[in-house]
Chains A and B, each alone.
Chain A
Amino acid sequence: MDLNIDEDDLNACVQCGLCLPHCPTFRVTGDETMSPRGRIKLMREVQDNDAPLTSEVLDAFSTCVQCRGCEPACPSGVPYGHMMESARETLADAGQMTPTWQRLAMKPLANPTLLNAGTRALSVAQKLKVVPERLGLSNEIPLTQSKLEATGSDVYLFTGCVMDTMQRSVHAAGLAVLTAAGFGVMPTGNAAPCCGALQSHAGLASETRTLAEKMMEGLEPNIPIIVDSAGCGAAMKDYGHLLGTAEAELFSERVFDMAEFLAMHMDRLPEPAAPLDLRVAVQDPCHLRHVQRVHEATRTMLAPYVRELVELDDEGLCCGAGGAYSIFEPELAGQIRDRKVASINRATPDVVASANPGCSMHLGAVGVPTKHPIELVHHAITGARGL
C-alpha cells in the first residue's frame, strides 16, 4: 500500500541504529518494532513490498510519540517526523487509524466557543472529582479567566486553544515580560483559534491545513508571532512545508518561541528584582529541542533570573506527554514518564522549567513541580512572592 512517503526519504535510512537510544518507546521496551529504525523498515515493507497492514504494524505506528528525538540523532538526516505524518494521514484517510471518537474529541479545539464550554465542564468535573484518572490532568483548571489586554502592536502573542483555556497565567506572564522589554503585544485570541498540532499528529491532514489557512488569514502580515507552547510553535513553523506555498513559508519564518525571541533581545529585558533563589532543572519539550531546535534559548533567557540552572542527564529524551499520546497510550506514556522523573530526581531541582503545557500537565500529574520558564522570568522581574 502506498503510504505517500517520499521514496528518497525512506531510502535515506541506512539502518545503522544510532537513533535507537534516543527513542523513548525503544528505551522502555527494548523492542525493535517500537524503534525508529524498525518503524522505518515497516514503512518500507508496506510501501515498497506491499506487506500487509497487520495490527502489529499499526501498533508500531500508533505507539510512536512523534517526539522526533530520532531526528537530531540521525547522521543521515532522515526526516522521520514528516514520514510518520504522511503514513498516519494515509492510514487515517483509509480508516485504518484514528477512530471516529478520537476525531470527535479533537473537534472543539478548533472552535473557541465549544472549547470554552468543554473546558468549563471539565473544570467543574474536576472540582467534583469525576474526571477519570487516565486523563492525567494536573493543574486545576480555573473556572473563570481574566482577559488578556493588548499593550500595543509590535508582536503577536499566540494564545491558541488548549493552552489559552488552561494556562492563561502563562500568557499573562509572557505578555507582561514582552511589554516590560518594550514590545507592544497583541494577544491573537479568536483571530487564530488553533494551530492544528494535535490534528496533524493524528493524521487529520485536511483539518490541519484548514486551520493553518484560517490562522494565516486571521493575522496581519509582517508582525512577529510569539508562541509560548513548544508544540504549537513547532506546528506553525511547519506551515511552509504543510501548505507548500511561498506565503506559508513567509508566515512560518515570523513564528518564534517565546524564549527564542527574548534570547535575541536580552539587552531589552529588565534586571531581576532579585534572582529567584531556586535550583531550576530545564526540561526541554521535544518540539522545542528536536523539532524547533532552539532549546538553548531557554537557558539564555533564564540564566540571569534564577540562582542555578541544572541539566537533566537524559539528553532530551521525551517525557511521554506527546500531545494526546498520554491519553491514548497511557501505559507506555507512564513508563516513559518514569524514566524522566528518575532523571529529574537525580538532578535534585526545586522546580522544573518546561515550555510546553502538555509536558507540564503530564509531569504535574505525578507531582513534579513545573513552571513555564516565562513565569519564572516574570516572577524574578516583578519580585512577586510565592511560586
Chain B
Amino acid sequence: MAGSKLSNLTKRRQRAESSGEPFVDALRAALSHNRVKWDGASRSLHSHDASVFDGGNSGPVVYPETTAEVQAVVRLANQHGRNVVPRGAGTGLAGGAIPLGVPVVVAVTKMNAILEVDEVNRVAWVEPGVINLDLTKQLKPLGYHFAPDPSSQQVCTIGGNVANNSGGPHCLAYGVTNAHVVAMEVVLPSGDTAMLGGLEAEPQGFDLRGAFVGSEGTLGIVTKVAVRLTKNRPAVRTLLMAFDDVRDAANTVSDVIAAGIVPAAMEVMDKQITAAVENYVGAGYPVDAAAVLLAEVDGLDSGVDIDADRIAKIGRSNKATDVRLAESEAQRQLLWKGRKTAFGAVAQIAPDYYLHDTVVPRSALADVLEQIYEIADRYDLLIMNVFHAGDGNLHPLIVFDGRQEGVLERVHAAGGEIITASLDAGGVLSGEHGIGVEKQKFMSRMFTNDDLDHQNRLRQAFDPHCRTNPGKVIPSGHSCADIQSLRSVPNTVWG
C-alpha cells in the first residue's frame, strides 16, 4: 500500500504531466496545473449552460483567482489565436456561456470574495464569482441587500448578472442589474484592464459601464464590481390571490399599477405550474385556481397595510376567488421559494423545458397569453406560464420530452410564434435572460440593419479580432465572427 501515503487529490494532480497542447501547457504555467482542466469530462460539461443549447466540447477550462491571472489567460489566448468565453455559474437560459469555436472557458467561480463593504458610498466591491444570494446574506446584518433577485439567485453569480443585465421579481420596484452596478473593473479582449463607471454621481466621459452591462460577455471579462447597497425595508406584506381565469389575474396587475401603487413584486403562475411548485414546496398554494398572483409591498409599517388592502380590493373587484396574506416570515419565504424554483419543478412533468422570455406592454398581457395557449394547442405542446406580471415579462415554458421523435422541431416552431406574437403586440425580445445564441435570429425583427451594424461596431471597438464570446448576440451577417465556421466538437468524444 505504498501509494496510499499520497492523497487521492495529489495523485490526481500528478497524473497528467504535459498535455501535448502548447496552449494548455502555457495556461498551466501561468495559473497552476489543477486550475487548467483539459480532460474530456470537464470539456464536455462546459458544452452547455442551463439552456437547451449545446456548443460541443469546450477548449481548456480555467479557474483564475486574480485579475492578473485573467489577463494572463486572455493574452495567451491572443498569442495562440484562441477564443475566450467567460462563465459564471452556468445558469444562463439563452446559451450565453456555451463554447462556440472550441474556446478557453474562463470560469470565475473561484473569484468569489466580497472585497469591501463601503457604507459611506453605499456600495460593495465584489469579485464576479460571488453568488447573488451569498452577497445579500452577508449584507443582512448591516441592513442592506443586493436588489436584483433572479429566481436563480441562490446560485447565479454577480458577473453573470452584470453580463445578462438580469432581473428578478423584486426588480419591478427597484430596477434591474443595470441600476445597481456603479463601477467595474474589466479585462478587455486585449488583456489590458479598464475601470468603467465610478462612485461619483456623474462619472466623466461616455457611459461605457452602461454599454458593458448586458453585453453577455462579448466585450470582455468583468473582474470586480461595485454594486449598490439597497436598504432593507422595515415592513413587508405578501398577498396571495387566486383566480378562475388568467385574464382576471392579468387585469388585476394592470389595475394595481394604474391605481398608482408600486408593489415590490407582482408574479403570476398558471394552474399547471402552481401544481408542480406546490408539490415541491408545500407552501399552501391553491392548486385548483386557474392563476395565482403573488403581490408584495414593502416600506413602512403603516403604509404597507394600506397598500396591501388596496391591492386586495382590486383583486376582489377582478373576481379573485381567494385573497390571503402571508402570516409569517417563514410562510412568505416558502411562497417565494415556490415561485423561484418554478422552472426546475416542471421536470416533475417532463424531462425538458424551453423557457421563453419576452416582454409585452402590460395592457396586452391577457391577449398575448391567450394567443400562447392557442399556439400550444395547435402544436400539441404543453405550455405553462409563469411571469413577472408587473413589468409584462412573460416566461412561457414549453415542457416536453426531448426523446420523442420530432418534438424539438415543434418546440422551436411554437417558440418562434410566441416571440412573433409578443413582438406584434409591441413587445421586446428579451426581458432578462439575454439574447445569447437563442434569439439571434430574431434580432433583425427588432432592429434595422443599420442598428445591428452599429452594435457590431461597438463590439469591435472593444474586441477587434472577435475573440471574446464569438458567435453570440449579434446575428450572422452583422456579426464580426463567421458563425457558421465556429468549429464544434461533439461532446461525448473524450478520453
Which positions in A face B, CB cutoff 8 Å?
A: 11-18, 20-21, 30-33, 38, 41-42, 45, 49-52, 54-57, 59-60, 62-63, 73-78, 101, 313, 328-332
In the docked arrangement, what's the CA distance between A248 and B154, Å?
38
**Is B458 located at the chain interface by the 8 A CB criterion?**
no
Q: Which of B42, B137, B341, B343 is the one whose CB lies under 8 Å from A32?
A: B42
Which positions in B face A, CB cutoff 8 Å?
A: 1, 4, 7-10, 12, 15, 37, 39-42, 44-46, 48, 50, 61, 63, 89-91, 107, 109-110, 112, 129, 131, 133-134, 137, 152, 154-155, 277, 280, 341-348, 351-353, 401, 403, 491-492, 494-495
Does B280 lie within 8 Å of A75, measured CB to CB? yes
Q: Which of B42, B134, B344 is the one whose CB lies under 8 Å from A75?
A: B344
The interface residues of chain A lying within 8 Å CB-to-CB of B50 are: 14-17
Chain B residue with Cβ nearest A14: B347
CB distance from A2 to the nearest CB of B (A): 16
In the docked arrangement, what's the CA distance between A54 and B277, Å?
38
Query: Given A31-B63, A75-B345, A77-B347, list of 12 further CB < 8 A pairs?
Result: A12-B348, A17-B91, A30-B109, A54-B39, A54-B495, A56-B41, A76-B344, A76-B345, A76-B347, A313-B137, A331-B8, A331-B10
The interface residues of chain A lying within 8 Å CB-to-CB of B137 are: 313
The interface residues of chain B lying within 8 Å CB-to-CB of A14 are: 50, 343-344, 346-347, 351-353
Could you write out 12 A-B pairs with CB less than 8 Å apart? A14-B347, A16-B344, A17-B50, A18-B154, A30-B63, A30-B109, A45-B491, A49-B492, A62-B8, A63-B8, A73-B154, A77-B280
In the docked arrangement, what's the CA distance between A328 and B342, Å?
38
Q: Which of A17, A41, A57, A331 is the one whose CB lies under 8 Å from B9?
A: A331
Does A55 lie within 8 Å of B12, measured CB to CB? yes
Does B492 lie within 8 Å of A51, measured CB to CB? yes
CB distance from B221 to the nearest CB of A (A): 16
Does A45 lie within 8 Å of B492, measured CB to CB? yes
**Interface-centre pick from A11, A16, A76 (highest chain B CB count, 10 A):** A16
CB distance from A87 to the nearest CB of B (A): 14
Does B495 lie within 8 Å of A21, measured CB to CB? no
The interface residues of chain A lying within 8 Å CB-to-CB of B134 are: 21
In the docked arrangement, what's the CA distance between A54 and B112, Å?
30
**Interface-centre pick from B110, B277, B343, B351 (highest chain A CB count, 10 A):** B351
Chain A residue with Cβ nearest B91: A17
The interface residues of chain B lying within 8 Å CB-to-CB of A62 are: 8
Does A328 lie within 8 Å of B351, measured CB to CB? no
In the docked arrangement, what's the CA distance between A49 and B493, Å?
10
Does B63 lie within 8 Å of A38, measured CB to CB? no
Does A59 lie within 8 Å of B109, measured CB to CB? no
The interface residues of chain B lying within 8 Å CB-to-CB of A21 are: 131, 133-134, 154-155
Q: Which of A33, A76, A332 is the one whose CB lies under 8 Å from B45?
A: A33
A32-B45, A49-B492 are known contacts. Are A12 and B351 too (CB-CB below 8 A)? yes
A16-B50, A20-B89 are known contacts. Are A60 and B41 too (CB-CB below 8 A)? yes
In the docked arrangement, what's the CA distance between A45 and B494, Å?
10
Does B341 lie within 8 Å of A75, measured CB to CB? yes
The interface residues of chain A lying within 8 Å CB-to-CB of B37 are: 31, 33
Does B7 lie within 8 Å of A51, measured CB to CB? no
Does B154 lie within 8 Å of A55, measured CB to CB? no
Does A18 lie within 8 Å of B155, measured CB to CB? yes
The interface residues of chain B lying within 8 Å CB-to-CB of A59 are: 8, 12
The interface residues of chain B lying within 8 Å CB-to-CB of A17 are: 50, 89-91, 152, 155
A14-B346, A54-B39 are known contacts. Are A32 and B152 too (CB-CB below 8 A)? no
Does B8 lie within 8 Å of A30, measured CB to CB? no
In the docked arrangement, what's the CA distance between A74 and B61, Å?
26
Chain A residue with Cβ nearest B4: A101
**Interface-centre pick from A13, A21, A313, A330 (highest chain B CB count, 10 A):** A21
CB distance from B9 to the nearest CB of A (A): 4
CB distance from B317 to the nearest CB of A (A): 34
The interface residues of chain B lying within 8 Å CB-to-CB of A101 are: 1, 4
Does B40 lie within 8 Å of A56, measured CB to CB? yes
CB distance from B158 to the nearest CB of A (A): 14
In the docked arrangement, what's the CA distance between A222 and B455, Å?
73
CB distance from A257 to the nearest CB of B (A): 21
Does A15 lie within 8 Å of B131, measured CB to CB? no
**Interface-centre pick from A59, A76, A331 (highest chain B CB count, 10 A):** A76
The interface residues of chain B lying within 8 Å CB-to-CB of A11 are: 351, 401, 403
The interface residues of chain A lying within 8 Å CB-to-CB of B154 are: 18, 21, 73
CB distance from A335 to the nearest CB of B (A): 10
The interface residues of chain A lying within 8 Å CB-to-CB of B46 are: 32
